[in-house]
């Protein structure tokens, strides 16, 4: 079985690729919930929804988030009422949030709700939140501390980032599925998707003992760099790395995960970084990592799986 | 100033007529909130919304409830998720419930939220809930006790009604606007709209001391019969009256309000009931009471106002 850690669009795309490569029982996708928040009374889990909608094939590929063929009549009416409209909620997408909120209010855990929603949307592979407890990413900026979605959506990542906090993470337990996967003797690989390391992956690693348990796992850990040619494919990864005084490079991604991962997949454009990364003690595979098509997703997933298999065989 | 008591579509229509006849400062429309409930985590006030949407001219006239030019994509998506779909919520209508819920959660009173929503929707006349406290109509039926919307919408008024309870009413205070209107020395009239007496008006009258204060008011009280030719224009008034062993007639409406009202407007088709109703000590005015057009609304409102003026002049 393979465990994938994911968040955001890069994570969702590689999750689709892994789902094309692996039977449902051979894959667990654990998703960041540090971005979750309560907005307009609704429990919103943006990364879970992104992964779920992509796996269901009903995502909007252009925007990256939300549903395809979406309508925005709720939002237009809310605007007329002078309501909070900085976080866009499509009419169909609202059903996900209303139903999730209803079930959570009834006492179900987020894991259970996620399983239910995935099942209803025809997602065959398993998706689990990193934890069923509340973890909230706080972004410390030159405008003060911002809740994640206020930084990410309301302020469109404009403020200068000075630091990050995954509030609640160290005291939160992994979700049951995540916990079981981390304890398996037969785990084949842990794949860190090309998600933002600071915003999507580190919250997962910050969950109680998760980093230590991944290190102690016999399964090889392979990351896919979200930085290509000094830029993030999507999102503020490069901007934030720079603001924190770090180079936005695939090497910096490797260094960020060093001590945790065994190998990394980087883009052809960054081939010159191979030797420098190998000096960190990591195996490097080089391929085209920009996923524009489903074939790209599948091929990149296969590369990551093969790198892990290669490391396991050493 | 004229105080109107309303609920449901009949109430909303006459409220529109009164709004055509009277300047905003001369009218207060107090609306039943016994139908209110929390559904899918949203605070829903069906009668307030019906009155508000009709006054704003954005109501759906065919359905009677909800907004015109509505879309139903949220509902379709919720159905796909196996959610609760017996209470239909349009995409635009959802904004009202989300914004109301958000403001109530922030600690605003329903009166304040109603004023805000009316203002945003361009309603110039004043609309107030009967109370800012929770009153819930319970329908006792041959299938047991049902919360109002479960009786009215989910079960489509099918169960046989054995009794009604306005839970919380006797301990609830009138809303500030309602309270002030009831205390005015210069109140010109209290008009009971052609709403369901048992489901829409009695909850208002059951609020602490409201019935007594209306009796003690010098202003004449005039009702408009919602029963025409032995039938309700819309809704289950006739069915419920029959199930409770009472005749579904305009006379029964007069008898129901006897001791509280001074006069009643009945339909031409019920002209033969005039004498019988007058024997209850009531003044009777006879006109066409079915409101199909805005002109019908305006004309019927004028008739009710004139009957009150006539009684006041006696």
Pair B226, B40: CB distance under 8 Å:
no
In a domain, B194, yes or no: yes
In a domain, B245, yes or no: yes
Q: Digits of tens for pLDDT over chain A (314 positions)?
A: 999 999 999 999 999 999 999 999 999 999 999 999 999 999 999 999 999 999 999 999 988 899 999 999 999 999 999 999 999 999 999 999 999 999 999 999 999 999 999 999 999 999 999 999 999 999 999 999 999 999 999 999 999 999 999 999 999 999 999 999 999 999 999 999 999 999 999 999 999 999 999 999 999 999 999 999 999 888 999 999 999 999 999 999 999 999 999 999 999 999 999 999 999 999 999 999 999 999 999 999 999 999 999 999 99
Beta carbons within 8 Å of B158's beta carbon, 6+ residues apart: none
Cβ-Cβ contacts under 8 Å, B84 against chain A: 102
Spacing of C-alpha B311 from chain mean position? 24
Alpha helices in chain A (DSSP H): 8-21, 46-56, 73-80, 91-105, 110-120, 148-149, 176-183, 202-205, 210-216, 237-243, 250-257, 274-278, 294-313
In a domain, B169, yes or no: yes
What the block records as the tokens of B81 is 């998720």
Pair A46, A63: CB distance under 8 Å:
no
Rounded CA separation B45/B136 (Å): 11
Mean pLDDT, rounded, of chain B: 97
Q: Looking at residue A234, what is its pLDDT?
A: 86
Q: Looking at residue A226, what is its pLDDT?
A: 97
Q: Looking at residue A64, what is its pLDDT?
A: 86
* C-beta atoms of A93 and B77 within 8 A: yes
Q: Would you list which residues of chain A are within 8 Å, Cβ to Cβ, of chain B?
A: 40-42, 67, 70-71, 73-78, 80-84, 91-96, 98-99, 101-102, 105, 117, 120-121
Q: Looking at residue B294, what is its pLDDT?
A: 97
For the sheet containing A144-147, what is the strand order?
A: A144-147, A136-141, A161-167
Assess whether pLDDT exceeds 90 at residue B233.
Answer: no
* C-beta atoms of B74 and A80 within 8 A: no
The partner residue sitting opposite A91, judged by closest CB among B67, B71, B121, is B71
Nearest-neighbour CA in chain B from A132: distance (Å) = 21
Beta carbons within 8 Å of A71's beta carbon, 6+ residues apart: A90, A91, A92, B71, B73, B91
* CA proximity to A30, closest of A145, A167, A132: A132
Pair B260, B277: CB distance under 8 Å:
no
Cβ-Cβ contacts under 8 Å, B40 against chain A: 98, 101-102
What the block records as the tokens of B144 is 């047991």
Task: Find the closest chain A residue to B103 by CA distance.
Answer: A40
Specify the number of domains making up chain B. Answer: 1
Which domain CATH number covers B215? 3.40.50.10680
* C-beta atoms of B102 and A42 within 8 A: no
Instruction: Read off the pTM.
Output: 0.92
What the block records as the tokens of B3 is 């105080």
* CA proximity to B163, closest of B244, B87, B80, B270: B244
Report ipTM (2 d.p.). Answer: 0.90
In a domain, B182, yes or no: yes
> Strands A136-141 and A144-147, how do they pair?
antiparallel
Mean pLDDT across B217-229: 97
pLDDT band at B298 (very low <50, low <70, confident <90, very high): very high
Task: Find the closest chain B residue to A98 by CA distance.
Answer: B40
Which stretches does DSSP call E strand in A182-225?
189-192, 221-224
Nearest-neighbour CA in chain B from A67: distance (Å) = 11
Host domain of residue A42: 2-313
Beta carbons within 8 Å of B311's beta carbon, 6+ residues apart: B220, B222, B262, B263, B283
Cβ-Cβ contacts under 8 Å, A101 against chain B: 40-41
Instruction: Return the HEC string of B239-270.
Output: HHHHHCCCCCCHHHHHHHHECCECEEEEEHHH
pLDDT band at B64 (very low <50, low <70, confident <90, very high): confident
In a domain, B86, yes or no: no
Residue identified by tokens 């922030």 is B106
């Amino acid at each position: 079985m393979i465990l994938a850690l994911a968040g955001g669009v890069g994570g969702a795309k590689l999750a689709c690729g892994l789902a094309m490569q692996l039977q449902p029982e051979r894959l667990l996708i654990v998703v960041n919930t540090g971005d979750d928040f309560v907005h307009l009374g609704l429990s919103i889990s943006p990364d879970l929804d992104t992964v779920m909608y992509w796996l269901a094939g009903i995502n909007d590929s252009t925007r990256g988030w939300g549903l395809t063929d979406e309508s925005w009549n709720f939002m237009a009416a809310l605007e007329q009422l002078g309501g909070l409209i900085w976080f866009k909620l499509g009419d169909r997408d609202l059903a996900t949030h209303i139903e999730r909120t209803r079930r959570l209010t009834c006492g179900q855990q987020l894991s259970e709700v996620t399983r239910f929603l995935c099942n209803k949307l025809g997602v065959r592979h398993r998706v689990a939140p990193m934890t069923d407890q509340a973890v909230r990413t706080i972004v410390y900026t030159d405008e003060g501390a911002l809740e994640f979605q206020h930084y990410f959506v309301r302020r469109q990542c404009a403020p200068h980032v000075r630091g990050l906090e995954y509030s609640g993470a160290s005291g939160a337990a992994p979700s049951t599925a995540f916990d079981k996967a981390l304890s398996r003797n037969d785990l084949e690989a842990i794949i860190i998707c090309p998600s933002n390391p600071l915003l999507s992956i580190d919250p997962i690693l910050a969950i109680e003992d998760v980093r230590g348990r991944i290190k102690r796992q016999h399964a090889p850990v392979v990351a896919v760099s979200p930085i290509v040619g000094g830029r993030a494919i999507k999102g503020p990864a490069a901007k934030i790395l720079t603001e924190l005084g770090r180079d936005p490079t695939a090497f910096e991604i490797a260094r960020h995960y060093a001590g945790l991962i065994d190998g990394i997949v980087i883009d052809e454009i960054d081939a010159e970084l191979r030797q420098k990364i190998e000096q960190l003690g990591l195996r490097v595979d080089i391929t085209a990592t920009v996923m524009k098509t489903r074939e790209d997703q599948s091929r990149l997933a296969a590369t990551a799986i093969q790198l892990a298999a290669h490391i396991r065989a050493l």
